Chain A
Amino acid sequence: MKTVQLREIAAARSGDKGNISNISVWPYERRHYEALKKSLTAERVKSAFPRLIRGEVERYELDKLGGFNFVLHDALEGGVSSSLNLDAHGKSFSFLLLSMDVEIEE
């Protein structure tokens, strides 16, 4: 096993609805989808950003398409209309996820 930054092996895009952020993660290679199933769990994402993600994290797996959707509850400081964050939509959150270290096969 080796550790790489997620950005090296996958793309991501974030979106918002109310106070919920979602980030889809798309590994460039199929084999990395299987590796990420093990190493990029919902618990791991939640524990990486405890102050940001105040609610639960759900991970949806899309075996056919080879990607994941992470749904981050209570993660937008109230949502676009309430947050005082410069990026109230959390558009930049995909790059938080891409900065995480994940384990893949050598």
Chain B
Amino acid sequence: MGIRIGAGAAFSNDRIRASVDLVEQGRLDYLVLECLAERTLAMDHVERLRDPGRGYNSGLRKRLLAVLRQATEKGTRIVTNMGSANPMGAAREAAQVARELRLSIRIAVVEGDDVRALMEPDTMLADLGITLAQFGKPMVSANAYIGLDALLPALQTGADIVIAGRVADSSLFLAPAAFEFGWAADDWEKIAAGVLAGHLLECTTQVTGGYFADPGYKDVPGLDNVGYPIGEIERDGRTRIEKLPGTGGCITELTIKEQMLYEVHDPRRYLTPDIAADFSEVDIEVTAPDVVTVSGAIGNPRPEQLKVTVGFDGGLIAEGELSYAGLGARARAELARRILVDRIVGRFGFAGDMRVDIIGVNALHATAMYKTAETEDVRIRAALRSADRQDAELLLEEVECLAISGPAGAGGFRGRTTPSIVTHSAFVDRHAVKTSVQVLET
């Protein structure tokens, strides 16, 4: 018998109802809730600075309230990175939820990914090729991607919930398999198999027909009720990817292939804390409709260094939007753009990062090409980044005021200012990163 792992969340706002269905109907051994992105983590560090009791996933209570009772009754263990910048804080909240539900459970907390203390002025920012000191901005976070080594002891405590911070996403799936089957951390073939399974599952519906449909080219049935994936991992590492009966979406050779290379660079050397995996020889076998078995990932020894995401205060991002429709809409939007730049850059003298796009003509691909689109329904979008709140407020004010002091017929202003974090990457020796596990009981 393989172990069944359901993927219930691919990011912090993923649909909660989906994991309820998975737990109730999926015959799961494990439910993985992957809720952490580079930016989310850095933002949570900022939150923790403001309030030391917070800094973990803000949706944790709601998510656990939705599934914890059913998971406990069915013996489904939950593994999650909702700890974010404060795993112990998350565990306390999880314990509180369990008490409210009158459940006696054990929660294991994985800590040690916070490596701010290991960052030195001469630490290189690998993606920039300069040191922390040369970069010069205030650091707000530094988290190493930890993996199997850190999660395994937590699973060994028998915990019903394992809560971690920055563990590699695929490790959340690999660790239960390695634990159940007793795979050695240097059994590279098995580890590669578990990482392949995790990599395919970690983005939930991106393997079951989400992020895929292109009408007329790649049609997907029932996307409104798309099924979240379940991986059944066998002792030898072969993994069957399926979804709940009656759900929409599709699992095909192509959904598997597309997801297998998602966010991958060299497919022969996919690096996680646990492995250097080679996906180039993977066998993909469609064994039934919407059931695909994968095998054949090749494993090479894991890297000696762990990747670290370093977050810096990025000031504020201000974004303002306004629409033009009907005759001459595009010309009016282009005039609005010129006026905005003249006012903010020309007259006010703002010299930082700013851009103005015309949604409906060319926004997302504006840097790539400038194409003429036949459209009479466009939206101007201006964005800038600044450490100075005045600049941010100026942008919102100038976009909003275009409605009365810009081209004719503008409507639908929306604007917002959000604090921003800039992230870069560094590396640390894996032996320098000390992880630990603590247990809470309710």
Contacts and interface: CB of A to CB of B under 8 A. Distances in A.
Interface of A: 7, 11-13, 15-20, 22, 24, 26, 49, 51-52, 58, 60, 62, 64-65, 67, 69, 71, 77-82, 84-87, 91-93, 96
Contacts of B265: 17, 20, 22, 58, 69, 71
A22 B263 contact: yes
A52 B211 CA distance: 22
Nearest to A84: B383
Contacts of B424: 18
A30 to B, nearest CB: 12
6 shortest A-B CB distances, which residue pairs?
A: A15-B263, A24-B261, A52-B368, A13-B258, A87-B364, A84-B383
A92 B365 contact: yes
15 contacts: A12-B258, A16-B263, A18-B424, A26-B254, A51-B368, A52-B367, A60-B267, A65-B282, A71-B265, A80-B38, A81-B39, A81-B420, A85-B367, A86-B383, A91-B211
Contacts of A77: 367
Contacts of A19: 127
A13 to B, nearest CB: 4
B100 interface: no
Interface of B: 38-39, 42, 127, 211-212, 214, 217-218, 254, 257-259, 261-268, 280-282, 284, 311, 314, 317, 353-355, 357, 359, 363-369, 381, 383-385, 420-425
Q: Which of B39, B368, B369 counts the most chain A CB atoms within 10 A?
A: B368
B217 A51 contact: no
Nearest to B284: A65
Contact of A86 (B262, B282, B363, B420): B363
B258 A26 contact: yes
A81 B127 CA distance: 13
A7 B215 CA distance: 12
Nearest to B371: A99
A29 to B, nearest CB: 12
Nearest to A71: B265
Contacts of A87: 363-364
A49 B368 CA distance: 5
Contact of A11 (B127, B218, B357): B218
A13 B259 contact: yes
Contacts of B381: 86
- Chain B's interface: helix, strand, loop or mixed, by majority? mixed
Given A13-B261, A22-B263, A86-B357, A7 B217 contact: yes
A56 B187 CA distance: 35
A87 B218 CA distance: 22
Contacts of B311: 81
Contacts of A51: 367-369
A19 B347 CA distance: 33
B257 A26 contact: yes
Given A11-B218, A11-B254, A64-B280, A81 B357 contact: no
Contacts of A17: 263, 265
A24 B257 contact: yes
A15 B258 CA distance: 10
A84 B384 contact: yes
A81 B39 CA distance: 7
A61 B366 CA distance: 29
A92 B267 contact: no
A36 to B, nearest CB: 15
A96 B263 contact: no
A91 B422 CA distance: 19
A5 to B, nearest CB: 11
Nearest to B37: A80
Given A52-B365, A60-B267, 20 more contacts: A11-B254, A15-B261, A17-B265, A20-B265, A52-B369, A60-B268, A69-B261, A79-B423, A80-B38, A81-B38, A81-B311, A81-B422, A82-B314, A84-B317, A84-B383, A86-B363, A87-B363, A91-B211, A92-B365, A96-B368
A24 B281 contact: no
Contacts of B280: 62, 64-65
B258 A82 contact: no
A26 B218 CA distance: 12
Given A62-B267, A86-B357, A67 B369 contact: no
B176 to A, nearest CB: 25
B253 to A, nearest CB: 9
Name which of A49, A86, A96 has the most chain B CB atoms within 10 A of its CB: A86
Contacts of A65: 257, 280, 282, 284
